[in-house]
């Protein structure tokens, strides 16, 4: 059994993140300490005291800790404060490892953010993995360069990130996101009941699964809903009221925000939708990382209309109706709702099955073993 120290970029969540999905598959054979990112030192967030709590066993062989609050700096412009941050985090990690009978120098360090490049000179470790699943424009580029250069293995979630990291390290593996195959395969269950919120909404039904953040670009749906009043657009999840178009969208009779929905119930909604759709994030519209949502749409088998970044090479163009502008999105929705294909649903399910998180994690484990890290 190998020891893994994960320095995560997000907290351990009820809805599993990419890091959780991968590590949960590895925990069968390896002991994992999962360190949640530190909160800002001068915050009133009640979670600022979480670092004082005992480790929380969230899975067999996985224990979660929260790093202590640190000063919110993202470059080398404040060397004194940076040294304080480094010492505080490194001491905390070392102490928690000792409490778990783990020696950092014998462990694999799994880093998920450029923030942790600052610890490389202080922490001991046997091997280093950098799992890069997004761009990090807020951090000093030299931090990520250092992390990528020191890594024994780099995982990149998209071809664009592979190109971005290639100058720093040649041992890069493309490891895209995945989807929850076991959950979304349930959408084929003919015994699923129609969710109550959908019973009185007229079709065709266009569905979005999951929460909508403040930066999700709703303009394509706004145009489609206004130009096709017989189409109903349903958001099966919460929507941030800070989203610029939220209030205008709420006023449209054929747009429905259903609010919080348990993830386990999403297949029941997906089974009733005629078309599933995906949107872009306005903060990083050129991001070429395929979100887990799109893979899970494929697992359902229903027609998919998706917004693509302007410079993005379309994925699954044979079964996904892609668009790069609100007007093209309306056209994509029109093509999707009129789809009459015997082979497309099966192709989508096959593509989705190939992207199951279990297979992604197995590939990651194979790569790490071939590099002598596990």
Q: How do strand 62-66 and strand 56-59 relate by DSSP bridges?
A: antiparallel
Between CA 309 and CA 279 the distance in angstroms is 10
d(CA 85, CA 94): 14
Q: Output DSSP code: residue 336.
A: H
How does pLDDT run along the chain (374 residues), one tens digit per residue?
Answer: 789 999 999 999 999 999 999 999 887 788 999 999 988 877 777 788 888 999 999 998 999 999 999 998 899 999 999 999 999 999 999 999 999 999 989 999 999 999 999 999 999 999 999 999 999 989 999 999 999 999 999 999 999 999 999 999 999 999 999 999 999 999 988 788 899 999 999 989 999 999 999 999 999 999 999 999 999 999 999 999 999 999 999 999 999 999 999 999 999 999 999 999 999 988 776 678 999 999 999 999 999 999 998 777 788 999 999 999 999 999 999 999 999 999 999 999 999 999 999 999 999 999 999 999 98
Q: How many CB atoms lie within 10 A of CB 136?
A: 17
Contacts with 367 (C-beta within 8 Å, 6 or more apart), sequence order = 153, 155, 173
CA pair distance 26, 47, nearest whole angstrom: 28
For residue 179, what are the β-bridge partners? 356
Answer whether 221's CB lies under 8 Å from 252's CB: no
Which of 159, 175, 169, 231 lies closest to 201, judged by CA? 231
Model confidence pLDDT, tens digit, residues 224-281: 999 999 999 999 999 999 999 999 999 999 999 999 999 999 999 999 999 999 999 8
Place of tokens 């989807």: 179
pTM of the model: 0.93
Tokens of 188: 């084929």
């Amino acid at each position: 059994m190998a020891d893994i120290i994960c320095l995560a970029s997000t907290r351990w969540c009820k809805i599993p993140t990419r890091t959780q999905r991968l590590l949960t598959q590895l925990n069968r054979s390896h002991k994992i300490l999962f360190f949640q990112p530190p909160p800002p030192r001068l915050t009133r967030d009640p979670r600022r005291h979480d670092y004082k709590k005992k480790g929380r066993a969230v899975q067999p062989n996985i224990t979660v800790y929260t790093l202590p609050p640190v000063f919110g700096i993202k470059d080398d412009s404040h060397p004194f404060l940076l040294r304080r941050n480094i010492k505080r985090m490194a001491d905390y990690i070392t102490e928690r490892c000792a409490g778990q009978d783990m020696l950092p120098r014998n462990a694999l360090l799994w880093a998920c953010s450029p923030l942790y490049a600052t610890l490389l000179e202080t922490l001991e470790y046997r091997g280093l993995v950098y799992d890069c699943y997004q761009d990090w424009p807020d951090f000093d580029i030299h931090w990520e360069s250092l992390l990528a250069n020191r890594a024994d293995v780099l995982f990149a979630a998209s071809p664009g990130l592979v190109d971005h990291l290639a100058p720093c390290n040649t041992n890069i593996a493309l490891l895209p996101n995945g989807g929850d195959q076991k959950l979304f395969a349930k959408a084929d269950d003919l015994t699923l009941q129609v969710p109550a919120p959908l019973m009185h909404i007229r079709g065709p039904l266009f569905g979005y699964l999951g929460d909508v953040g403040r930066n999700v670009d709703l303009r394509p749906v706004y145009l489609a809903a206004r130009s096709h009043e017989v189409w109903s657009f349903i958001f099966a999840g919460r929507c941030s009221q800070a989203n610029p178009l939220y209030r205008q969208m709420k006023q449209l009779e054929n747009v429905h925000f259903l609010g919080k929905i348990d993830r386990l119930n999403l297949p029941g909604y997906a089974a009733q939708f005629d078309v599933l759709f995906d949107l872009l994030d306005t903060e990083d519209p050129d991001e070429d990382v395929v979100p887990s949502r799109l893979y899970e749409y494929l697992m359902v088998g229903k027609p998919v209309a998706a917004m693509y970044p302007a410079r993005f090479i379309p994925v699954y163009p044979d079964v996904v109706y892609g668009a790069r502008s609100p007007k093209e999105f309306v056209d994509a929705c029109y093509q999707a709702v009129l789809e009459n294909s015997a082979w497309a649903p099966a192709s989508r399910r096959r593509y989705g099955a190939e992207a199951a998180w279990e297979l992604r994690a197995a590939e990651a484990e194979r790569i790490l073993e071939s590099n002598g890290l596990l």
